[in-house]
Amino acid sequence: MTAKPPYKTVEPARCRFLALVKFLMEHASYILTAVIALLFYIAVLPHFRPYAWVDDWIYTKPLGFTTLSEWWRWLWQQHVDHRIPIQKLTNFLVLSWTGFDYRWLVAINFAMAIATSILLLEVARRYRGRRSIGDTSIPLILLNFGMGYTQWGFQFQFMSSILSMSIFLFSALIWLQTQKNMPALIGALSLMVACLTGMNGVLPALGIGIACIAWAIWRHKPTNIVFLFAAPIGMALVILAMWTPFVGSDQSPIKSSELLNYAAGLTTGAFTIFVQHHEAAARIIIFVLLFLAAASILIRIGRKILDDADLLLTAFLGVYLCLLASIAYGRVKVQGGWEYGSAIHYGVLAIFIPILAWVIASKALPKLRAEILGLAVLIVALFVFEVNYQWRAWMIGYCDPLQAKALQDLKSNKSIDQIATDNITQFHVGLSGIKEVTDGISALRKAGYELYGGKRHR
């Protein structure tokens, strides 16, 4: 018999291999997102403290409620500067179902971050019309383990506002490209949800809503579009009208140099721990990306090819730069100057700065140059992720024995006052919050939560 030519078996195998390589390259960002998620949920989250810290103790208050009016008042009551009814209700229910294990809140925060990462990857693809190697930086930056939402359940308010605004951005982009009504409706609804996630959602929703109405009037869009986006604007204005400045707010004048320095620092917040070690480099990277994004828009204006998608992303980026400036204004009054801890605390609110700046900058460049820039952005993102990963690994080793002691004390026969005093840094920022801690532990024990030394009623 004549032997079969080898190419008949080699070629199909080669084609399948090339198809697999192509699939992996096209979906590398999504695969990386899944890998980071698995790493977080398996290797990081189990080491997180299961008990409350600082603002988390507010969820123990409803344990003593006996009437619906108390519930309603608590849900809509301003917390510092924010009205966060969605957070209060969902987080309390989750904690009630899980024995008040606060790791579940962090798990939800990270799930919202994963959804945001996917949405922003799709925004980049739709805006540019193709994928880019630089887009792989999106999950590396957004899902880095130094982010505040990975360390504190109460950052639900930040993460939920970012997710809501990402849903708007994705929906609005589809709306512009398809002119279908449903994406516009989803976009408007997401802005309304953002209004219920605190002032960090109210202000962007208001700014974007006004921009959408101005655009609709300019483009002679149907009146119903104007009314559609008037709803979140009205909602934001009502919340602002009801807003009471936090009692700790300082009305003293500030130095413009301190304000500019703080605002510039906040724009690097998405890099979190990386900023503490490489602040100058972080500021240069953000400046270069913003410069390239501005240059891209100017080039498209000069070529007369600026489209509505360009306007959308540019307005969105501008709104978040303004939000960071407003945060800087408030924090300078309290702190008096920039400090690295703010990069962790407000990091996720700055996530749109490097990501959208990169996406906008990449559109006007020829494909080869865009990929070279994308590779550079990816290298930076890998370094940022690695720095934050190493820091988190160190923190796990440092905090594990402290958390073990606090958990042991909670289940011991020690008095609540002694438990709170001995482990105050595990429960609050200092002794100033000790009453909040003791009241919280007392309420949790009375309700029978075993994690805190309570006994379930049988």
pLDDT in tens, 39-65: 999 999 999 999 999 999 999 999 989
The number of angstroms, rounded, from the C-alpha of 320 to the middle of its chain's C-alpha atoms is 12
- 318-339 pLDDT, tens digit per residue, is 999 999 999 998 888 777 788 8
- Read off φ and ψ for residue 412, nearest 5 degrees: -90, 180
pTM exceeding 0.85: yes
> Using CA atoms, how far apart are residues 24 and 19, in angstroms rounded to an integer?
9
Longest alpha-carbon distance in the chain: 96
- In tens digits, what is the pLDDT along the chain, a chain of 458 residues? 455 555 555 567 667 665 666 666 678 899 999 999 999 999 999 999 999 999 999 999 999 898 999 999 999 999 888 999 999 999 999 999 999 999 999 999 999 999 999 999 999 999 999 999 999 999 999 999 999 999 999 999 999 999 999 999 999 999 999 988 899 999 999 999 999 999 999 999 999 999 999 999 998 888 888 899 999 999 999 999 998 877 545 556 778 888 899 999 999 999 999 999 999 999 999 999 999 999 999 999 999 999 999 999 999 999 999 999 999 988 887 777 888 888 888 989 999 999 999 999 999 889 999 999 999 999 999 999 999 999 999 999 999 999 999 999 999 989 999 999 999 999 998 888 899 999 999 999 999 999 998 876 44
Helices 199-218/156-178 angle, 10° precision: 10
> Using CA atoms, how far apart are residues 32 and 28, in angstroms rounded to an integer?
6
The pLDDT of residue 255: 80
The pLDDT of residue 16: 67
The pLDDT of residue 266: 94
Angle at 335 between CA 318 and CA 48, to 5 degrees: 85
The pLDDT of residue 81: 87
Q: Residue 84 corresponds to which amino acid?
A: I
Nearest partner of 316 among 156, 169, 116, judged by Cα:
169
CA distances from 46 to 42, 49, 97 (A): 7, 8, 18
The pLDDT of residue 458: 42
